Amino acid sequence: MTLEGYLKALDILAGEYPKWNAPAVTLIATSSRDPYLVLISTLLSLRTKDETTAKASERLFALAKTPEEMIKLKAPTIQNAIYPVGFYRDKAERILEISQRLIDDFGGKVPSDLDTLTSFKGVGRKTANLVVSLGFNLPAVCVDTHVHRISNILGFARTKTPEETETAIRKRVPIERWSGINDLLVAFGQTICKSVSPLCSKCPIASLCEKNGVKKHR
């Protein structure tokens, strides 16, 4: 797929997007635009379904919304609030560690650059890019499994890892289009282009898609 085709597909998906449920972290970011809440909710979302992430974030943020408030909580309290997100015990410890470092090294403020964010234990490129994009409204390419998988299905990327897909998008897609890609493809992947038997008969961009790797569809 050419760049023109990829951008055309994104434009079509943007028109369909209001019909689908936005990713949980996006909803949190839209309501708050607080980089700290985006960071913590993104950590909770790893290996966790959106519905679970949204409810866990709501319970946790009812107890603490700043690093200063968070470190006053004990790990078991955070665990109880975020359960049943994946690896909730580890995530509770990570939240406390990150909150303390933000206070110690950054005056309680979340840094806005990718390299600094990824220096935090447990913060990978996906999380860091989401914080940059949703928390600071800056250009960032957030590539999760949906973005990686769908970009390859479409034929725009021919990559083996999300990191390689991020690099491909950064090289080919204009910077002003970066930040919207994650929202569109995550919502699209959760509703239409599912990982198992995608709904190709209902797909608004089926005519543009190369269907690479799709062995069964509906």
Q: Is 126 a catalytic residue?
A: yes
Q: What is the pLDDT of residue 50?
A: 87
Separation CA 150–CA 194 (nearest Å): 9
* Terminal Cα-to-Cα distance of the chain (whole angstroms): 22
CB 28 within 8 A of CB 37: yes
∠ CA 82-87-90, rounded to 5°: 90
Does a cis peptide bond (omega within 30 degrees of 0) precede residue 84? yes
Question: Is the alpha carbon torsion for 19, 187, 26, 69 positive or negative?
Answer: positive
Instruction: Give the pair of three-digit tokens for residue 86.
Output: 């994946």
Q: What is the pLDDT of residue 30?
A: 67
Q: What is the pLDDT of residue 25?
A: 81
Residue of 65, 144, 171, 202 marked active site: 144
CB-side neighbour CA atoms (13 Å) of 199: 9
Domains of the chain: 3-20+141-208 (1.10.1670.10), 34-136 (1.10.340.30)
CB-side neighbour CA atoms (13 Å) of 94: 19
Q: Identify the CA nearest to 155 among candidates 207, 115, 197, 78.
A: 207
**Is the pTM higher than 0.75?**
yes
Residue of 34, 50, 91, 126 marked active site: 126
Residue that the structure tokens 């319970």 belong to: 59
Cα-to-chain-centroid distance, residue 71: 25
CB 147 within 8 A of CB 185: yes
Cα-to-chain-centroid distance, residue 191: 16
Q: What is the pLDDT of residue 26?
A: 80
pLDDT tens for the 218 residues of the chain, in order: 999 999 999 999 999 999 988 787 887 776 677 999 999 999 999 888 888 999 999 999 999 999 999 999 999 999 999 999 999 999 999 999 999 999 999 999 999 999 999 999 999 999 999 999 999 999 999 999 999 999 999 999 999 999 999 999 999 999 999 989 999 999 999 999 999 899 999 999 999 999 999 988 89
Q: What is the pLDDT of residue 79?
A: 98
Q: What is the pLDDT of residue 119?
A: 97
Q: What is the pLDDT of residue 27?
A: 77
Separation CA 123–CA 74 (nearest Å): 21
Q: Identify the CA nearest to 36 among candidates 119, 98, 91.
A: 98
Which residues touch 215 (CB under 8 Å, ≥6 apart)?
none
